[in-house]
Amino acid sequence: MTIIILLLLAYLIGSIPSGLWVGKIFYNTDIREHGSGNLGGTNTFRTLGKKAGLVVTIMDILKGTAATILVSLPFFEATNVHPLVLGILAVIGHMYPVFAGFKGGKAVATSGGILLAYNWPLFVILVIGFFIVLKLTKMVSLTSMILSAIALIYSIIYYFTIDNDWPLIALILLLSGFIFYRHRSNIKRIKEGTEPKVKWI
């Protein structure tokens, strides 16, 4: 029963629709009715501005972090559930949130939150890489997918040089699959040359 509560809690944390709640509470705006209609940080930036976008992005990151560290809480220590399983459930909750009609974000920020809790050096590398790649591409979607490849390369090198952490490789592969799947429409627009580009970097 404790394990079921733990797994459900991880999903529910991921299901918190940060963009929807910030938009409705502070801006009286449902961001699902604007821009791409997505609940993630990118559409929040586009619809509500930099301040709201930054807040939502941080909240989405912390959802992944909070879920991943649940297993370290005294009540759940004896469950023997791998923390990455909880992180994955949070990402699923972010993509398909029960609190927002199962239509959520694209998994990027919450995936980063898992890495912040589990392998913070990789998180730092990806944050720095995000701004460098975004500066070059001007497309958040393309940047997110490129970072997935960078994360995979890191996890493989980490496995052979530092620690045989195969769950990290498995996690990156799964999250990359989520990210590419959720960016199907973006990939099509990138090919057509119609993908929106950011102007602030």
Q: In this predicted model, what pLDDT tens digit does every residue of 45-91 receive, in sequence order?
A: 989 999 999 999 999 999 999 999 999 988 888 788 999 999 999 99
Which letter does DSSP use for residue 38 in this model?
A: -
pLDDT digits (tens, 9 = 90+) for 144-163: 999 999 999 999 999 999 99
- Can you tell me the distance from the alpha carbon of 44 to that of 59, in angstroms, rounded to the nearest whole number? 12
pLDDT in tens, 8-17: 999 999 999 9
pLDDT > 90? residue 1? no
pLDDT in tens, 91-147: 999 999 999 999 999 999 999 999 999 999 999 999 999 999 999 999 999 999 999
Burial of 165 (0-12, 13-18, 19+ CB in 10 A): middle
- Exposure of 35 by Cβ count < 10 A (0-12 exposed, 13-18 middle, 19+ buried)? middle
